[in-house]
Structure 1
Amino acid sequence: MKAKSPPPPALPQRLSLVAQTVQSLRESIRTGHWRKHLPPERELCELLQVSRPTLRVALEELQRKGWLEVTQRQRRRIKPRRTAPGASAGKRVIAVISPYSFLTLSPQVAFLADALRERLTKAGSAVEYHVNPACFSTKPVRALEKLVSQNPAVAWLVMGAKEPMLRWFISQQLPCLVVGSCPTSVVLPSVDADHQAACRHAGGVLLRKGHRRIALVLPQGGYGGDADSEQGMRESLKDRPEAHLRVLSHDGTTAHLCALLDAAMRSPNPPTAYVVARVMPVLTVMMHLMRRGKRIPQDVAVISRDDDPFLQSTTPDVTRYAISPAQLARRVALAARQLAKTDTLEPKAIRLMAKYLPGETV
């Protein structure tokens, strides 16, 4: 009788987002991160960077498998479980801090956050996402002390931090990686697009098109990448004494940005070109200029320093600079893994060159 052939090896499978959420919750429960009850759903969504429908499916799966039970007050109680002999001590936690809710992130940043979590989870780390605007204020010490004391982590990833926050991490000698650019006075490892090179190139593009009065639109707040952008623009104009750069620093509101634009247009030498940092202000600038009767690009040019998928649907097509979110996620994940493994990382700035996408607004 012919012997049966052994079954072929099972094909590797890519875990779904629900499966990854189940895995992350189960690991945190098993290692004692939560001892009696899970936090509310909204807090878990922020922490795990998942939508509420995804979270609920994952919670139902854990309830079916006996990890959780729902109390009369609709709280999810962690059921006691016996630890098997030789169980591992759990994964290393890498904490991500952001001033913005995961539910309000732009598609580009949301993709970066999701890709980071996937890469770091595969590398054996647990990723926790903390939304805490107070950590990004001018006086962040109390908020940072509370966050760090309540959430032990082997490494901290900071999404676009400001100087007071970064100086606190340095003073506490905590392993920290900045996803963004540091101010020149702060020395920490960071990964970001090369905004200085992009704006230097943008200045050259506008000069070749005959523009000599250029406005650079930046948010207030002193993020390192915005200082690099201004430096790049000034470098492009330094050998052209007839060229003038006006910096418009807005507070993030539409009303303030429109008021700055109106003041610039009323000046004796109004700008003929605008280079705009961040994606949403690009739409505000273009729509307000057109509302004031300016044709783009016949009367005024607009360049976006940053990219977003929805800019592909605008008309005219916006001239802009883009980096691959997947490439950025790879570089950040690699640096984060090294930081978590060794507790140290060379304090250098990793800069990714953005691709110039010539559109119809110049």
Structure 2
Amino acid sequence: MPERGSLVAECVRVMQLRIEAGEWPQHLPGERRLAELLQVGRDTVRLTLSELEAGGWIEPAAAGCRRKIGGDRKSEEAGRSERLRIGMLSPFRLERLSQPMLLEVDHIRRALAEKGGSFEVIAPGWFESKQPSKRIADFIASERRSAWILHRSSLPVQRWFAEQRIPCLVRGTPHEGITLPFLDVDWKATARHAAGILWRLGHRKVGILSPPDQLRGVDAALRGLRELTDDGFEVVEFVEDGTTAGVEKVFRRAMGLKVRPTAMVTNRPRQAATLLSCAARVGLRVPEDLSLVSLAREPFLEHLVPEITGYRSDPASVAKQVVRRLEQIVAGNVAPGGDPWLMPEVVKGASVVPPP
């Protein structure tokens, strides 16, 4: 995580860009709103305001009044198209993002900063609501951006952006009927590859642990496993509720079947870690009694024994593709070229062997 001093310096830089771009022509928003926009605490906002005041960017605080912009700070380059001001809408605040996504966000921010742009992650409370249209419209009208990244976005959110033709990139797989540009792991191909590994080792009954999220990638992974139609290969889906107790519950259900799975495939790294613990708790050995594969990966899996077999993507490489696509979208290309599917690298690990 960034040190406090560097975090304040980054907040100062971002706010200077927004002032130069004329986003706040006369007054800054209140401290609470700035904390939401910058995804930092109120203390960091106050230190940022002190730095801006010392540099003459804003005027000293007056009792009961919002901070006033200090003089004409608009840059000659403020309207240039190459200055990318990108916002990422996500249901998660920064501290709840996965480690690979945090690294990806950091690489995107650095790449845009080198181009004179800015990048912010925003987690509005309405992002997962069933009817967000009115609140999206008000939000987009007040938050001027060159383009948006939609992370783990719902069908209503994607539909609104598509209908309003707001420049955006879905960081994931668009919902059915949505034609927005996107970038995502090819979960179907990844799961199909995992199925092939398990089949060749002799596994014939495989369980897949799905999260409660209604995302296209989860459905694609299930389809990928089931595409292996060789005689005798069976896939059973178990849906957990997003909690550790929920994973343990479906694990017991899977192991309680008359013919239990000899391998489990997970959509989320956290599920793999919980399954490993659950197996140890009931005396099952991984991989001798139960093989385990994770379709997604986080660095903490490297510290588990045995190391979990699975798939990983390079956040730096993904970030480059994200920025490249955003530049095309901002330039007016609603269908940026290149393959939108990412193929992750296989991590062999030590959690997969032939079934007992």
TM-score tier after normalising by the smaller chain length? 0.7 to 0.9
Cα deviation for residue 361 of structure 1 reads: 1.0
Match of 1:40 in 2: 31
The equivalent of 2:250 in structure 1 is: 260
Q: Take 1:45 and 1:185, find their aligned partners in 2: how far apart are those partners?
A: 36
Contact in 2 for aligned 1:63/1:69 (Cα 8 Å): yes
Percent identity between the aligned chains?
30
The answer to whether 1:351 aligns with 2:323 is no
- 1:98 and 1:133 in contact (8 A); partners too: no
Cα distance, 1:262–1:153 mapped onto 2, change above 3 Å? same
1:306 corresponding residue in structure 2: 296
Residues 226-284 of structure 1: per-residue CA shift (max 9 Å, x gap): 1221121111x21x231111111222122222222212221222111111012212211
Q: Aligned partners of 2:42 and 2:308: how far apart in 1?
A: 34
Q: 1:317 to 1:39 in 2, by over 3 A?
A: farther
Instruction: Decide which moves more: 119-128 or 351-360.
Output: 119-128
Secondary structure, counterpart of 1:95 in structure 2:
strand
Deviations 1:57-80 (A, max 9, x none): 544432321224564769872443
Taking the aligned partners of 2:165 and 2:75, their CA distance within structure 1 comes to 36
- 5 Å-filtered alignment, 1:112-123, equals 112-123=104-115
- Partner residue in 2 for 1:193: 185
Aligned with residue 71 of structure 2, among 72, 78, 81: 81
Q: Secondary structure at the match of 1:23?
A: helix
Q: 1:357 to 1:32 in 2, by over 3 A?
A: same
The 1:281/1:44 distance shift into structure 2, 3 A limit, reads farther
State the partner residue of 1:137: 129
Partner of 1:203: 195
- What is the SS of the residue equivalent to 2:22? coil
1:38–1:78 Cα contact (<8 Å) kept: no
1:159 is displaced (CA, Å) by 0.9
The residue number in structure 2 matching 1:126 is 118
Deviation for aligned residue 1:305: 0.7
Contact persistence 1:192–1:352 (CA under 8 A): yes
> What amino acid does structure 2 have at the position aligned with 1:275?
V
Contact preservation (8 Å) 2:22, 2:74? no
> Which residue of 2 is the match for residue 229 of structure 1?
221
Aligned residue in 2 for 1:12: none
**Aligned with residue 340 of structure 1, among 308, 330, 344:** 330
**Contact 2:311-2:344 at 8 Å conserved across structures:** yes
Cα distance in 2, alignment partners of residues 234 and 211 from structure 1: 14
Q: CA deviation at 1:317?
A: 0.8
What SS does the aligned partner of 1:211 have? coil
Q: Give, in angstroms, the shift of residue 331 of structure 1.
A: 0.3
Q: 1:213 aligns to what?
A: 205
Q: Secondary structure at the match of 2:122?
A: strand
User: 1:201 corresponds to which letter in structure 2?
Assistant: H
Contact 1:159 1:180 in 2 (8 A): yes
- Per-residue deviation, 1:204: 1.0
- Cα separation, partners in 2 of 1:46 and 1:278, compared to 1, 3 Å: farther
State the match for 1:330 in structure 2: 320
Residue 121 of structure 1, CA deviation: 2.9
In the alignment, what sits opposite 1:166? 158
Structure 1 equivalent of residue 88 of structure 2: 96
Gaps of 5+ in 1: 1-15
Match of 1:8 in 2: none
Q: 1:286 to 1:40 in 2, by over 3 A?
A: farther
Q: C-alpha distance in 2, partners of 1:348/1:226?
A: 23
1:5 alignment partner in structure 2: none
Who is 1:66 aligned against? Answer: 56
Cα deviation, 1:278-314, whole Å, max 9, x if unaligned, reads 2212211221122122110011011111111111111
Change (3 A) 1:360 1:51: farther
Any conservation in 2 of the 1:339–1:345 contact (CA below 8 Å)?
Answer: yes
Quote the Cα distance in structure 1 between the aligned partners of 2:333 and 2:35.
28
In 1, the alpha carbon distance for the partners of 2:41 and 2:320 equals 23
TM-score, normalised with respect to structure 2: 0.86
Counterpart residue type for residue 319 of structure 1: T
Instruction: Specify whether residues 20 and 209 from structure 1 end up closer, same or farther in structure 2 by C-alpha distance, changes over 3 A only.
Output: same
Unaligned residue ranges in structure 2 (runs of 5+) = 1-5
- Tell me the TM-score normalised to structure 1 length: 0.85
Q: CA deviation at 1:125?
A: 3.1
How much does 1:89 deviate?
A: 3.8
1:242 aligns with 2:232: yes
Q: Is residue 96–residue 159 contact of structure 1 (8 Å, CA) maintained in 2?
A: yes
Q: Sort the Cα spacing of 1:73 and 1:198 in 2 relative to 1 into closer, same or farther, 3 A.
A: farther
2:3 is aligned to none
For 2:145 and 2:254, the matched residues in 1 are separated by 47
CA displacement 1:34-85 (0-9 Å, x = unmatched):
34234436x5455345688876654443232122456476987244313579
User: Contact 1:37 / 1:75 at 8 angstroms: preserved in 2?
Assistant: no
* Alignment deviations for residues 318-348 of structure 1 (CA, whole Å, 9 cap, x no partner): 1110110001000011001111122523488
Q: Provide the secondary structure at the position in 2 that maps to 1:134.
A: coil
